[in-house]
Amino acid sequence: MKAGLEGLNPEGKRVLVRVDFNVPLLEDGGIRDDSRMRACLPTIQELRSRSARVILATHLGRPKGKPVEALSTRPLAARLCALLGTEVSWCPECVGPVAVAAAGALRDGEVLLLENLRFHPEEEANELGFAAQLAALADLYVNDAFGTAHRAHASTEGVAHILPAYAGRLMERELAALSEILESPPRPLVAIMGGSKLSTKLGVIDHLLPGVQQLLLGGGMAATFLVAEGAQVGRSLVEPDFVARATEILDRAPSLGAEVHLPTDVVVAAGPESTAAEARSCPAGEVGAEEMILDVGPATARRWSELVQRAGTVVWNGPLGVYENPAFAGATRLVAAAVGESSAVSVTGGGDLQAALESLGLVSKFTHVSTGGGATLEFLEGRELPGVAALRERLAVP
């Protein structure tokens, strides 16, 4: 893709930048984690340094096509002001005369943040007229919102067919890191799949399986695989409709040269709110009838740590246990630390795993932490993302 910012001349021009500032919020409306905002700073700063007039567009939460005061982007402008070290103006609209006037008043190097795109149902419907209204605010379009690139929305796909379109620096980094996993990863390639449900990871597992050497399966989804092997898992989260698919994966992997590793021991308790004193480790086949698997066991975590330390590439999606409770964060912490100490190219994706790594202070140990959730999964499934496809189409024309 001829995507980079080096391909455009933004001096004195209004540049509409689609960012993903869909940050988690506190109950009082404050920002719990601004990492998604910080990820876009290189693009914003570069455009400012090149005398662009920067117009930022984002969604926040799920307002379902109508204004919701608690999901206004106004607080984001104040945080962005602190992150950039410069004034950031805020517009109470994202389209229409007020937005046009605010965009037109910008001077070189200034930044404007628009109100929540999803206050308008036309955004998610990818309505052409709404895309045209967004495009009317600017001369150029930059998509730096990889986390929303799997959605064909007006601001991610529609505008790219109207204005000259480019990928921002975050978008470039995401595509480069994830493409390497699929095309030419340093080997051996170790894939770690966690999280609660197998059903959400099947596409990724199917797409990666022919290329991985080691596949480590943890999190709640491991229970479905253990059931496929005949184990008793008590009250653990199991998807009965996917036990057959789990069996098929286990049967198919050896013929593809992939070694699948399930937990041989697990940490169990009555439920996710249990304390460490109420939890116990046991062999994976000895879960009590009233117990739930809530983490990968310590022996398995040590063995998996040895595997990742010998890896050339590690791709990881989903925590290995209920990391929000320290009693069940042990495996995620141990394996993540091992990845960080290794020389492997390490790529992670998914909001839950990123939150786990943030809480454990281990984000900086990874080569690339993807800002995408669904977008990362769909890319690793081999799907074409609408937001990326639109850029490719525009940039294929000299």
CA proximity to 292, closest of 245, 325, 259: 325
Q: DSSP label at 277? A: G
Both tokens of 282, joined, read 């046991």
CA proximity to 60, closest of 81, 34, 86, 41: 34
* Cα–Cα distance for residue pair 126/44, rounded to 1 Å: 25
- Which CA distances in Å does 310 have to 179, 207, 341, 348? 22, 23, 11, 17
| DSSP symbols for 188-210 | SEEEEE-SS-GGGTHHHHHHHGG
Under 8 Å between Cβ of 303 and 325: no
Under 8 Å between Cβ of 16 and 137: yes
Q: Active-site positions? A: 36, 197, 351, 374
Question: Could you tell me whether strands 214-217 and 259-261 are parallel, antiparallel, or unpaired per DSSP bridges?
Answer: parallel
CB atoms under 10 Å from CB of 12, counted, come to 12
CA proximity to 258, closest of 299, 295, 210, 290: 210
Q: DSSP label at 154? A: I
